[in-house]
A and B are shown apart, each in its own frame.
Chain A
Amino acid sequence: DTEVTQTPKHLVMGMTNKKSLKCEQHMGHRAMYWYKQKAKKPPELMFVYSYEKLSINESVPSRFSPECPNSSLLNLHLHALQPEDSALYLCASSRPGEPQHFGDGTRLSIL
């Protein structure tokens, strides 16, 4: 297996900015995930895509907008974020019933 690649590694943005996080995998996994992780805490599930369709939205505020353009790509569009949204955002992918493979995350800071 290869890896899950996330870009950018670090992102600083103001509360009025619009930015996007990108995640890419070439392992043929058809489930892709977005997590938010605060320091010293476990990841919190945000969204799950299964076969490019949104299957789980964990009541995430609308200022976070996921997109799955194809089976290898997953984006997270950000707009009008709040300081409490500063965190590590992790992407993961998996085959059905198999463990999730995680990227190294994007460290997001909101000014």
Chain B
Amino acid sequence: AQSVTQPDIHITVSEGASLELRCNYSYGATPYLFWYVQSPGQGLQLLLKYFSGDTLVQGIKGFEAEFKRSQSSFNLRKPSVHWSDAAEYFCAVVALGAGNNRKLIWGLGTSLAVNP
């Protein structure tokens, strides 16, 4: 069965430090992978996506992610974190369900806190 694992429930970094959020997936075929961010009281905003092609994907707000098929990983990175990056981060994969419907399989999320 398809699944997404985000090993880190909570991460705290200092402002200006680098960041890496981990995501591992389980999926038989080539996955469609996403990172979403959710600030308190808000909906989910797409940071970046991987469908195919270049394994290093650039997103919004200075984020990037690297798809590594051999490790079944799609880790999110940012070289220098800003206080406004404090939020909940979700990794997700598109999976085929019954009736050929596609739906998102979500990780449990990583809560990011940023110290001044």
Interfacial residues, chain A to chain B (CB-CB below 8 A): 4, 6, 40-43, 45, 48, 50, 55-56, 90, 92, 97, 99-105, 107
Which B-chain residue is minimally distant from A55 (CB atoms)?
Answer: B101
Decide: B103 and A40 in contact? CB cutoff 8 A.
Answer: no
**Would you call B43 and A100 a contact (CB within 8 A)?**
no
Residue of B nearest to A45 (CB): B103
The CA-CA distance from A73 to B112 in the complex, in Å, is 34
Residue tally, chain B, CB below 8 Å to A: 24
| Secondary structure call for the B interface | strand
Expressed in whole angstroms, the minimum distance between the Cβ of B33 and any Cβ of chain A is 10
The answer for the CA separation of A40 and B90 in the assembled complex, in Å, is 10
Q: Which of B17-67 contact A (CB under 8 A)?
A: 32, 34, 36, 41-46, 49
Q: Could you list which residues of chain B lie within 8 angstroms of chain A, going by C-beta atoms?
A: 32, 34, 36, 41-46, 49, 88, 90, 92, 97, 99, 101-104, 106-109, 111
B99 touches A105 (CB 8 A): no
Using A42-B90, A48-B101, A56-B101 as known contacts, say yes or no to A102 and B44 having CB atoms under 8 A apart: yes
A43 to B108, CA, bound (A): 9
Please determine whether B104 and A40 come into contact, CB atoms closer than 8 angstroms.
no
Question: Chain A nearest CB: distance from B37 CB in Å?
Answer: 11
